[in-house]
Amino acid sequence: MTKRSYGNHLGFQTKAVHSGNDVDGETGAIRRPITMANSYALPDDPSELNWSSSGGKPIYTRNGGANQNYLQDKLKALEGGEDCVVLASGVVALSGLFFALLRSGDHIVFSNITYVAVYRLLKELHPEKYGVETSLVDTSDIEKIRAAIRPNTKLIHIETPGNPTTQISNIAAISKLAHENGVLLSVDNTFASPYTQRPLELGADLVIESLTKYINGHGDAMGGAVIGARLLIEKIRSDSMVNLGGTISPFNAWLIMRGAVTLPLRMREHNSNALAIAEYLEKKDGVRFVAYPGLESHKGHEVAKKQMMNGFGGVLSFGLNADHDTHNRFVSALQIITSAVSLGHDESLIVFLGENDERQYLYPEEFHGGFFRFSVGIENASDLIQDLDQALKAVGLD
Ligand SMILES: *Cc1c(COP(=O)(O)O)cnc(C)c1O
């Protein structure tokens, strides 16, 4: 059976369908099967093997298995990267990256607006446990990054759009600054997904995806990935997959592989629904503010237009002209949109982030009264707008 090859000239949808898949050599099935095995047959002389190695022919699923490898091939193609490691969650992809690339005495600059685990890891755990120096910086301002770089800076880590405020950082400009200083740039691309933004093409060295979100897209599996140059990925694979053990299960890798096939189709709907809803909300008197990179009123709109493609992602934040309890009553009045954390699922998810968030001091002024993070799903936009409309009326804000 000949192995099909898919070149880089192919379009994103073609890659989403075909890359990582092939005819199964055993059965002739045109979908690769799930291989729920912990261990693989050894070569004639196994004493030659390095038990801590990974990649290549699988020997033990913690070092790499069939379904992980297929998913890695798909993600490499979608992000335009040389190599990829898939792991058990987005957070282990992030912590595995920091663990593998930073040692005590090194310095990292990271975004003020990030997923909460990044804040905890870099503000507390890495400095306390490993003696890593860290600077939390407003990365929407390149001059602040420039001022924070030290001789021992090894990595700049940004998230754009940032969770939960949708802050935008300029990937191309920051990657230029990083490389002028011999520093690596890693970008958490979870809010955009590779359909909407490809950081490696903009000069970043490493891109992180929580596969749990848009790439799987169906809210039924967790996973994470880091994509970038082979030598960097090999280090993360060996330190964080083989030796820390952050391995994804073959079943979850298979589910995510299946979900990723429709990523471009789903993202088109997420992006257009989110823009329609942001524009609707912005016109409502009962709405205190709307933050969405697709709106001209967003501080990062011009940069977002340059570095995001096909839209601006499916997540927006907004607050009501109302007190804490009214925000909760608004959510209770919703009939289609579900109150739950996570994002990037097929269904719309909303979460109220109240005033006691310890990171409130890092958010812009308008967020201080509490706000919603709203992951707009792929339902009909008209139904979602209708749901928001009736909930605003129910709490007396329309
Ligand atoms: C959810 C999320 C993560 C963490 O991913 P998990 O798969 O939940 O571990 C990291 N970064 C961003 C931006 C996220 O939204």
**CB of 191 sitting under 6 A from ligand 1:** yes
Atom 8 in ligand 1: which residue has the minimum CA distance?
Answer: 90
How does pLDDT run across 329-341, given as a tens digit for each residue? 999 999 999 999 9
Identify whether the C-beta of residue 158 lies closer than 8 Å to the C-beta of residue 129: no
What is the CATH number assigned to the segment(s) 12-260? 3.40.640.10
Identify whether the C-beta of residue 339 lies closer than 8 Å to the C-beta of residue 330: no
Identify whether the C-beta of residue 225 lies closer than 8 Å to the C-beta of residue 93: yes
| 246 Cα–ligand 1 center, Å | 15
For the entire predicted model, the pTM comes to 0.97
| 361 Cα–ligand 1 center, Å | 21
d(CA 57, CA 54): 8
The number of the ligand 1 atom at minimal distance from the alpha carbon of 224 is 7
**CB of 222 sitting under 6 A from ligand 1:** yes
- Catalytic residue selected from 70, 188, 195, 363: 188
The number of the ligand 1 atom at minimal distance from the alpha carbon of 162 is 13
**CB of 91 sitting under 6 A from ligand 1:** yes
- Which of these, 337, 10, 292, lies nearest to 165 by C-alpha position? 292
Checking if the pLDDT of 55 tops 60, the result is: yes
Q: Are strands 184-188 and 206-210 parallel, antiparallel or unpaired?
A: parallel
pLDDT band at 155 (very low <50, low <70, confident <90, very high): very high
Identify whether the C-beta of residue 18 lies closer than 8 Å to the C-beta of residue 42: no
How does pLDDT run across 61-97, given as a tens digit for each residue? 999 999 999 999 999 999 999 999 999 999 999 999 9
d(CA 195, CA 263): 7
d(CA 363, CA 126): 23
The number of the ligand 1 atom at minimal distance from the alpha carbon of 93 is 9
Is 4 designated active site? no
How does pLDDT run across 280-301, given as a tens digit for each residue? 999 999 999 999 999 999 999 9
| 50 Cα–ligand 1 center, Å | 32
Task: Please give the C-alpha separations between residue 261 and each of 9, 82, 246, 265, in angstroms, as whole numbers.
Answer: 18, 20, 24, 9
Checking if the pLDDT of 357 tops 90, the result is: no
Q: What is the pLDDT of residue 162?
A: 98
- Both tokens of residue 384? 């979602």
d(CA 297, CA 290): 9
- Catalytic residue selected from 6, 40, 60, 62: 62
Q: What is the pLDDT of residue 7?
A: 64
Q: What is the pLDDT of residue 4?
A: 57
Identify whether the C-beta of residue 110 lies closer than 8 Å to the C-beta of residue 118: yes
| 151 Cα–ligand 1 center, Å | 30
Q: Any idea where the domains of the chain sit in the sequence?
A: 12-260, 263-394
Q: What is the pLDDT of residue 6?
A: 59
Identify whether the C-beta of residue 79 lies closer than 8 Å to the C-beta of residue 215: no
Checking if the pLDDT of 174 tops 80, the result is: yes
6-20, 22-36, 150-164: range with lowest mean pLDDT: 6-20
High-pLDDT (> 70) share of the chain, %: 97
Which residue stretches of the chain are H helix? 12-18, 66-79, 90-101, 116-120, 142-148, 171-180, 193-196, 230-236, 250-260, 263-282, 301-307, 324-333, 381-394
Q: What is the pLDDT of residue 56?
A: 73
What is the CATH number assigned to the segment(s) 263-394? 3.90.1150.10
